[in-house]
Amino acid sequence: MAHIFADTRIAPRPHDVPALFRRLVLGLGAARQRRRLAELDEALLRDIGLTRDEAVAEARRPVWDVPQSWLR
């Protein structure tokens, strides 16, 4: 009986690691900004043209959801 061994681990290709790291750093930065946005008081939100509901909705976006313009 023959045995076939296959390495089934999925690892990023070496050239993808910098892109993955960059995306992670951008996502963490976005998450930090979104948390701070949610902490602003009503007067500051009004100054930037947002409602409390809009700020909370933005803060709840997932870490990986960053603007496409950031990825260029």
pLDDT in tens, 6-28: 555 555 566 677 888 888 888 89
**For residue 32, pLDDT beyond 90:** yes
Tell me the whole-structure pTM to 2 decimals.
0.66
pLDDT at 13: 61
The CA–CA distances, whole Å, from 51 to 36, 45, 57, 60 equal 14, 6, 10, 14
